[in-house]
Amino acid sequence: MTLDADVIVAGAGPGGASAAYFLGQQGCKVLVLEKAQLPRYKPCGGGVPNTVFNFFPFDFEPVIEQRISRATFVYGARQFTQPVEPDALTMVMRDQFDYYILQQAQAEVRPGVEVAAVTQERDSVAVTTKKGETLRASYLIAADGANSPVARSVGLREGKELGVALELETEVDSATLAAYHQRFLVGFGYLTAGYYWIFPKAHHLSIGIGTVKRGEKTMPHLLQEAMTNLGVSLEKHRRYAHPIPIRIRREQLQHGRVLLVGDAAGLVDPLTGEGIRHAVESAHIAANTIVAGNVAQYTAMIEKTYAADLGWARLLSHIIYNSQRFSFDWIMRNRLAFTDLIRILSNRMSYRQFVAKLPLYMLSLGSRLPLDKRQ
């Protein structure tokens, strides 16, 4: 039986594009199937922890929109702004970022091709597309998003939980754009389990609101109200909604010759909703286990590397979202805690370590950051 590739990758987001790159670098014949035409717009705030760039030997400067140097946290009418340590967080547009990685990959890419069904055989996996074509490879990497059809086809990620985010891109006047230059804003108090944001891009702002809890029905209204209070107009802008996969338990992320990465595996930070870092990390692990011939160890390696820490992130999200006003004053405004939250983004600290230090943050009463003067 002739194989079309060593590995088929379903989806060309950061997880799929990265998997294609890592596999191609190790001499694998890779076929990427992407249901959209490329490059495609992807609703996403576009914040990338700089540790992501360390996985690649090439320069990302062509797709960097802004480098973050300040962060503003808001609760109601109160806010504070603090410097962010250099090289912690960078802003990108996902259509450019994802496609840029894919362009560096040694892979055949077929846009406009969607997976309909997956059948596993003893020595291969067969992928049937919605166009009726059947393609075969030794392995299949599912990077096809939170509602992964591939995961459903092989019985993985059953009973998953999904949050939701609403996002848009908006042009603003030069004064507003300058006010958010290299500064992101995160606001609390509008959702029971989520936040709204403003992320700066080179010539516009990415604005959104997201929750890890189902049933918050008034998100468009809440986003409008929050932006009105900040003096940012959202008139005549199309809003995009997308699911946020929530990891609620340890679960199998590999079945036979199929491996899940990124959102398809539910590897999203339950506190921040950020998933790019874990998409790239899981793609790297998936590629290495395939090349080494030990895919049966993939789930255990994901768990050992970082997935277990997402459980601690989930615990912290419960603490913060269930007591937002208290958390704003005694966690986010705490100088030590603020610094450590940024360190988590930089992979210099784990959520488990952060949770263990909560009593220390509570006892450091003299380290609360001052509110912005206009507040």
Q: Bridge partners of 91? A: 47, 66
pLDDT at 340 > cutoff 70: yes
Identify the architecture of domain 5-64+91-160+249-308 in CATH. Answer: 3-Layer(bba) Sandwich (3.50)
- Give the confidence band of 150 by pLDDT, cuts at 50, 70, 90: very high
In order of 33, 47, 171, 178, 302, the CA distances from 201 in angstroms are 29, 10, 10, 11, 32
- Non-local (6+) Cβ contacts of 194 within 8 A are 163, 209, 210, 211, 212, 213, 216, 273, 321
Say which residues have a Cβ less than 8 Å from residue 121's Cβ, sequence separation at least 6.
Answer: none
Q: CATH number of 161-245: 3.20.20.70, 3.30.530.20, 1.10.3720.10, 3.30.9.10? A: 3.30.9.10
Domain boundaries, the chain: 5-64+91-160+249-308, 161-245, 313-367
- Write out pLDDT tens, residues 186-212: 999 999 899 999 999 999 999 999 998
At residue 101, the pLDDT reads: 98
Interatomic CA distance for residues 193 and 317, integer angstroms: 8
Q: pLDDT of 265-279, one tens digit each?
A: 999 999 998 999 999
Least confident of 53-57, 184-188, 216-220, 341-345: 216-220
In contact, 116 and 128? CB cutoff 8 Å:
yes
pLDDT of 15 reads 98
User: Distance between CA atoms of 220 and 207, rounded to whole angstroms?
Assistant: 12
Stretch 10-23: mean pLDDT: 98
Phi/psi at 66 (5° precision):
-155, 155
Question: Which pair of structure tokens corresponds to residue 270?
Answer: 């339950």
Tracing tokens 């049937």 back to the chain, one arrives at 128
**Tens digit of pLDDT for each residue in 280-325?**
999 999 999 999 999 999 999 999 988 889 999 999 999 999 999 9
> Can you give the pLDDT at residue 125?
97
The Cα–Cα gap between 278 and 272 comes to: 12
Give me the pLDDT at residue 359, please: 92
Q: What does the block give as tokens for 303? A: 């768990």
pLDDT band per the 50, 70, 90 thresholds, residue 239: confident
Q: What is the 3-state secondary structure (H, E, C) of 213-264?
A: CCCCCCHHHHHHHHHHHHCCCCCCCCCEEEEEEECCCCCCCEECCEEECHHH
> Is the per-residue pLDDT at 217 higher than 70?
no
Check pLDDT > 70 for residue 343. Answer: yes
| Tens of pLDDT, residues 35-59 | 999 999 988 899 999 999 999 999 9
Scanning the structure block, which residue is given the tokens 């300040």? 70
pLDDT digits (tens, 9 = 90+) for 154-185: 999 988 888 999 999 999 999 999 999 999 99
Could you read off the pLDDT of 59-102 as tens digits, one per residue? 999 999 999 999 999 999 999 999 998 889 999 999 999 999 99
The answer to whether 82 touches 338, Cβ cutoff 8 Å, is yes
Banded model confidence at residue 247, pLDDT cuts 50, 70, 90:
confident
> Does 375 score more than 60 pLDDT?
no
Question: In the predicted model, what is the mean pLDDT of the chain?
Answer: 93
